[in-house]
With several copies, the nearest count.
Chain A
Amino acid sequence: MADTTATAGGRESFLGYFKRTWRQNIIYIGFIVVFLFFAATLYDKGFLAPNNLLNIARQTAMIAVMAVAMTLVLSSGEIDLSVGAVAGLASVTTAMAITWGGLPAGIAIGLLTGVAVGLINGLLSTRLMIPTFLTTLAMMGIAKGTAMWISDTAAIPVLDPLYPAIFGGGNLGPIPTLLIWILVVGVIGHVVLRRTKFGRQVLAVGGNVVAARYSGINTSRVKLWVIVISAVTASLAGMLYAGRLQTGRFQLGEGDELSVIAAVVLGGTSLFGGKGTVIGSIIGALMIGVINNGLILMGLEYSQQLIARGGIIILAVALSQAGTRPA
Chain B
Amino acid sequence: MIELAAKPIAVEMAAISKRFGGVHALREVSFSARSGEIHALLGENGAGKSTILKTLRGVQAPDSGTITIGGEVFDRLTPHVARQKGIGMIFQEMSLVPTLSVAQNVFLANELLTSAGLIDDRAMERRSAEIFGSMGVSINPAAIVADLSTGQQQLTEIAKALSQNAAVLVLDEPTSALTAGEVDILFGLLRRLRAEGKAIVYVSHRMDEIFRIADHATVLRDGRLIDSRPIADYTLATLIADIMGKATRDLSEFTTASTAQDEVILRVEHLSSKLRHGGDVSFSLRRGEVLGIAGLLGAGRSRLARMLFGLEPIAGGTITLRGRTTTIGSPKQATELGLALVPEDRRRQGLVLAHSIQDNIELPILKRLGSSPFVDLFKSRATTDDLIKRLAIKTVSREAAANSLSGGNQQKIVIGKWLATDPDILIMDEPTAGIDIGSKGEVLRLVRELAAEGKSIIFISSELAELMAVSDSIAVMSGGRLVETVDKADLLSSPGDAAELRAEQKLQLIVQRGGNHG
Q: Which residues of A contact B (CB under 8 A)?
A: 1, 3-17, 20, 191, 194-201, 203-204, 206-208, 210-218, 270, 273-275
Q: Which residues on A sit within 8 Å (CB–CB) of B334?
A: 216
A12 near B335 with CB under 8 A, answer: no
A211-B348, A216-B336 known; 13 new pairs, CB 8 Å cut-off, are: A10-B396, A10-B400, A11-B397, A12-B403, A13-B276, A13-B404, A194-B119, A197-B113, A200-B109, A200-B111, A203-B359, A204-B109, A273-B99
A226 to chain B, nearest CB (A): 15
Q: Are B359 and A204 in contact (CB under 8 A)?
A: yes
Asked if residues B79 and A208 are in contact (CB atoms below 8 Å), the reply is no
Nearest chain A CB to B160 CB, angstrom units: 8
Of all A-B residue pairs in the complex, the 8 with the closest CB atoms, nearest first, are A10-B396, A274-B99, A12-B404, A207-B352, A216-B335, A207-B99, A13-B20, A207-B97
Q: Which of A3, A12, A197, A217 contacts B21 (CB 8 A)?
A: A12
Q: Are B400 and A213 within 8 A (Cβ)?
A: no
- A210: which of B312, B349, B355 is its contact (CB, 8 Å)? B349
Minimum distance in angstroms from A72 CB to a CB of chain B: 14
CB contacts under 8 Å to A, within B330-377, are 330-332, 334-336, 341, 343, 348-356, 358-359, 362-364, 366-367, 369, 373-375, 377
* Chain B positions 12-70 with a Cβ under 8 Å from a chain A Cβ: 19-23, 57, 59
Contact of B399 with A by CB under 8 A = yes
Which candidate, B139-147, B197-205, B229-237, B459-467, is the interface stretch facing chain A? B139-147
Complexed CA–CA distance, A197 and B351 (Å): 17
Taken together as a complex, chains A and B put the C-alpha atoms of A210 and B150 apart, in Å, by 15
Task: Report the bound CA distance from A48 to B414 in whole Å.
Answer: 53
- Residues from chain A with a CB closer than 8 A to the CB of B133 are none
Digitize B184-215: 1 where CB-to-A-CB distance is under 8 Å, 0 elsewhere.
Answer: 00000000000000000000000000000000
Q: Which residues of B contact A213 (CB under 8 A)?
A: 59, 79, 311, 331
B358's nearest neighbour on chain A, judged by CB, is A4
B96 contacts the other chain (Cβ, under 8 Å)?
Answer: yes
18 contacts between A and B (CB under 8 A): A5-B401, A7-B142, A8-B21, A8-B396, A8-B401, A9-B21, A10-B396, A10-B400, A11-B23, A13-B275, A196-B119, A197-B109, A200-B359, A200-B363, A204-B97, A214-B331, A217-B332, A218-B80
CB distance from A14 to the nearest CB of B (A): 5
User: B461 → chain A, closest Cβ, in Å?
Assistant: 19
**B166 CB contacts on chain A under 8 angstroms:** none
Which residues from A are CB-within-8-Å of B400?
A: 8, 10-12
Cα separation A204 to B406 with both chains bound (whole Å): 21
In the complex, the number of residue pairs spanning A and B with C-beta atoms less than 8 Å apart equals 256
Q: A10, A12, A197, A208 — which one has the most chain B CB atoms within 10 A of its CB?
A: A12
Complex formed: what's the CA distance from A211 to B362 in Å?
13
B499 lies within 8 A of chain A by Cβ? no
Chain A hits for B22, CB < 8 A: 9-11
Cβ A197 vs Cβ B399 within 8 A: no
Determine the distance from Cα of A5 to Cα of B99 in the docked complex, in whole angstroms. 10
Q: Which of A10, A191, A200 contacts B104 (CB 8 A)?
A: A200
Chain A residues within 8 Å of B335, by CB: 216
Q: How distant is A225 from chain B, measured CB to nearest CB, in Å?
A: 12
Q: Provide the residues of chain A in CB contact with B353, threshold 8 Å.
A: 207-208
| Beta-carbon contact of B20 and A215 below 8 Å | no
**Residues A10 and B401 in contact in the complex (CB < 8 Å), given A196-B119, A214-B331, A218-B330:** no
B83 within 8 A of A: yes
Residue of B nearest to A217 (CB): B109
Task: Contacts A197-B374, A215-B363 given; indicate if A11 touches B95 (C-beta within 8 A).
Answer: no
Q: Which residues of B contact A218 (CB under 8 A)?
A: 80, 330, 332
- Residue B436 lies at the interface, judged by CB distance under 8 Å to chain A: no
Q: Which residues of A contact B143 (CB under 8 A)?
A: 5, 8, 10-12
Question: Please, how many angstroms separate the alpha-carbon atoms of A274 and B121 in the complex?
Answer: 17
A274 contacts B98, C-beta separation under 8 Å: yes
> Using Cβ atoms and an 8 Å threshold, which residues of chain A touch B95?
208, 210-211, 214-215
B420 to chain A, nearest CB (A): 11
Instruction: Pick from B113, B353, B399 the residue with the most CB of A within 10 Å.
Output: B399
CB-CB contacts of B62-100 with A at 8 A, as 1s and 0s? 000000000000000011101100000101000111111
- The reply on B498 being an interface residue by CB < 8 A is no
User: Which residues in chain B, 381-415, are within 8 Å of chain A measured between CB atoms?
Assistant: 395-397, 399-401, 403-405
Q: Do B91 and A16 have beta carbons less than 8 Å apart?
A: no
Question: Taking the nearest CB of chain A, how far is it from the CB of B136, in angstroms?
Answer: 16
Chain A residues near B146 (CB-CB < 8 A): 16, 20
For B93, the closest partner residue in chain A by CB is A210
Q: Is the CB of A4 within 8 A of B121?
A: yes
> Is there contact, CB below 8 Å, between A10 and B352?
no
Contact A11 B341 (CB under 8 A): no
CA distance A217 to B91 in the complex (A): 16
- Among A8, A17, A197, which residue has its beta carbon within 8 angstroms of that of B119? A197
Query: How far does the alpha carbon of A317 sit from the alpha carbon of B464 in the complex, in Å?
Result: 49
Least distance between A264 CB and chain B CB atoms (Å): 16
Nearest-CB residue, chain B, relative to A203: B100
Task: Compute how far the CA of A208 lies from the CA of B350 in the bound complex, rounded to whole angstroms.
Answer: 9
Determine the chain B residues whose CB is within 8 A of the CB of A20 once the complex forms.
144, 146-147, 354, 401
Give the docked Cα–Cα distance between A170 and B209 (Å).
Answer: 72
The answer to whether residues A11 and B298 also contact, given A197-B375, A200-B119 and a CB cut-off of 8 A, is yes
Q: Which B residues touch A207, using CB under 8 A? A: 97-100, 352-355
